[in-house]
Structure 1
Amino acid sequence: MSQALVIVAHGSHLNPDSSTPTHAHADTIRETGAFDEVKVGFWKEEPHLREVLRTVESDEVYVVPLFISEGYFTEQVIPRELRLEGWDVSQWDSDGLSADHVTLTAEDTGQQVTYCGPVGTHESMTDVLVRRAETVTGDSDVGDGFGFAVVGHGTERNENSAKAIEYHADRIREMDRFDEVQALYMDEEPEVDDVADYFESPDIVVVPLFIADGFHTQEDIPEDMGLTDDYRKGYDVPADVDGHRIWYAGAVGTEGLMADVILERAAEGGADIGDALELVRERTRGQQTVEV
């Protein structure tokens, strides 16, 4: 039986570059030959979530949401737009971090769809965050003398979003690789505005747990941290702020290794991916981030 992978993401009417990482990761996975088809679908762009399964010829489809946390989009919007028969969020039996997969039938196409949890809560995302630190510093051994900040939106928007930030910060801390690790937020304490106050390390890598670079990661966060007084002028990497060197990495979702997490999700749902994981890890090592 042929198998297809469908990567679903938010997309944007306002920022045409927001879909760039999704297409790039789809291309990376397509090149491994693990799936007969690799497609993408968006909520705010074409091809739309509601139509994407109709573009797939395979009977067996693995759907992986390119979202950071469990919530409105993963629990309501995507299953509704894909018309997954009998969907109920309780089938994931999740605590907000543990959604894995459930196999259902698409009502209008009859395809067997294995609907997976979002990439952002998968344990492999921790490795992608660390890879971002390696990429932005140009040092595959970065760690000693460095602090690491994982940045999220804040708890008011989505409680599960904060859970994902804390989860990965804890996992990076357990590695004992970086001198200090801190979860910071845009809208909640501890705030990313005060990044220098939370670290003693002379160097701090800052990685936003966002799928794509956009208004928040390209404008708000650099200005809030004091990297620049006007994002349009750009900023240095690293930038000197209050006696620290800030290595601002931009959205984690632009890291090539994100394709690994998508594959992990599909494989845990039962997809036969062969040696695709090894191929992706090898090809993305030393690779530049997705340009947007």
Structure 2
Amino acid sequence: MQALVIAAHGSHLNPGAARPTYAHADTVRDTGAFDEVREAFWKEEPHFREVIRTLESDEVYVVPLFISEGYFTEQVIPRELRLSEWDPDRWDSEGTDADWATLEAEGKTIHYCGPVGTHDAMTDVIVRRAESVTDDPDVGKGVGLAVVGHGTERNENSAKAVEYHADRIRNRGRFDEVEALFMDEEPEVDDVTDYFESDDVVVVPLFVADGYHTQEDIPEDMGLTEDYREGWEVPAEVEEHRIWYAGAVGTEALMAEVILERAADAGADIENAIDRVKRATAEMADADDRGSRAEAGD
């Protein structure tokens, strides 16, 4: 038997913080790829510390639903899971290329994976997010893309993940312009229009869940609204640009694929589950697009 644990931060203050975790777990569960699928959190129940002992499976794949490598993925989660032999060097990573480490805990074999945010498959999720917010599966020509992260001097890896995916998307040549912007370091998202010549700019925050950063700080900082409580238009006119603000990338349904990719890289037997998730999320996107056109009377 094999089990999947999706390890996320959660929140005591934001009841919606765990919603993407449960949604992606349900998507993976529906594929039948794992005998057991569990959600575990740092700030909510069920807690990291207890999750392993609730499983019957001997093989456990732990995938952190975090954006970057750092304090939580390298210290908190391994400690709470009681991975006594863990050492960050097992990932042999420079900040964006963590893979997995196989250890023992609670009498089980634990395959501890790198965070979803640095996996190559996350690049496709960012692009899908841009497609979703614009209702355009071919979005790119004549459009700029801003990938936005928190950024912090306390963890250089926070910026590395954002820059990594921005570089990968830029190299594809799909969008006219691609920039990595940040909340707490330069270049700042406050000045988003300064970095683009394109009239249309899609802004995708590289965050797992929508919270006060993505729903309050960033919209106000970019000038989408003076008061987040009043909402904002999509697209919104800001200094002669149309800003298509997508909200947190982690809420995109295709994130379930990245979770599966992480587990598969570590040796999980998932058969064709990834292809099924791709098809299912593409159908969901098409249905949302048809619904949007119907509401608009097209």
Q: Which residue of 1 aligns with 2:160?
A: 163
CA–CA distance in structure 2, aligned partners of residues 72 and 187 of structure 1:
18
CA–CA distance in structure 2, aligned partners of residues 194 and 37 of structure 1:
45
CA–CA distance in structure 1, aligned partners of residues 173 and 139 of structure 2:
12
In structure 2, the CA distance between the partners of 1:203 and 1:280, relative to structure 1 (3 Å rule), is same
Q: Which residue of 2 aligns with 1:269?
A: 266
Deviation at 1:242, TM superposition (A): 0.3
Letter in 1 for 2:74: E
**In the alignment, is residue 178 of structure 1 matched against residue 202 of structure 2?**
no
User: Which aligned segments of 4 or more residues in structure 1 are displaced greater than 6 angstroms?
Assistant: none
Q: Which residue of 2 aligns with 1:284?
A: 281
Deviation at 1:92, TM superposition (A): 1.0
Deviation at 1:179, TM superposition (A): 0.3
Q: Which residue of 2 aligns with 1:22?
A: 21
After TM superposition, the structure 1 stretch with the greater mean CA deviation from structure 2, 80-89 or 257-266, is 80-89
Superimposed CA distance per residue, residues 236-260 of structure 1 (whole angstroms, 9 cap, x where no aligned partner): 0000000000000000000000000
CA–CA distance in structure 1, aligned partners of residues 88 and 195 of structure 2:
37
State the identity as a percent.
Answer: 74
CA–CA distance in structure 2, aligned partners of residues 143 and 90 of structure 1:
38
Cα contact 1:3–1:58 (8 A) shared by 2: yes
TM score, norm. by length of structure 2: 0.95
Q: Which residue of 2 aligns with 1:111?
A: 108
Letter in 1 for 2:50: E
Deviation at 1:286, TM superposition (A): 4.6
**In the alignment, is residue 86 of structure 1 matched against residue 106 of structure 2?**
no
CA–CA distance in structure 2, aligned partners of residues 176 and 91 of structure 1:
34
Cα RMSD of the aligned pairs, angstroms, is: 0.9
Q: Secondary structure of 2:72's partner?
A: helix
Give ranges in structure 1 of 5+ residues lacking alignment: none
Letter in 2 for 1:98: D
Q: Secondary structure of 1:18's partner?
A: coil
Q: Which residue of 2 aligns with 1:97?
A: 96
TM score, norm. by length of structure 1: 0.97
Q: Which residue of 1 aligns with 2:63?
A: 64
Deviation at 1:287, TM superposition (A): 2.4
Superimposed CA distance per residue, residues 178-214 of structure 1 (whole angstroms, 9 cap, x where no aligned partner): 0000000111111101101110101000000000000
CA–CA distance in structure 2, aligned partners of residues 156 and 214 of structure 1:
21
CA–CA distance in structure 2, aligned partners of residues 197 and 286 of structure 1:
36
Q: Secondary structure of 1:47's partner?
A: coil
Superimposed CA distance per residue, residues 214-249 of structure 1 (whole angstroms, 9 cap, x where no aligned partner): 010000000000000000000000000000000000
Equivalent of residue 190 in structure 1, options 184, 187, 210: 187
Cα contact 1:135–1:286 (8 A) shared by 2: no
CA–CA distance in structure 2, aligned partners of residues 162 and 40 of structure 1:
27
**In the alignment, is residue 241 of structure 1 matched against residue 238 of structure 2?**
yes
CA–CA distance in structure 1, aligned partners of residues 14 and 36 of structure 2:
27
Letter in 2 for 1:52: V
Deviation at 1:91, TM superposition (A): 1.0
Letter in 2 for 1:227: L
Q: Which residue of 1 aligns with 2:8?
A: 9
Aligned length: 286
Give ranges in structure 2 of 5+ residues lacking alignment: 289-298
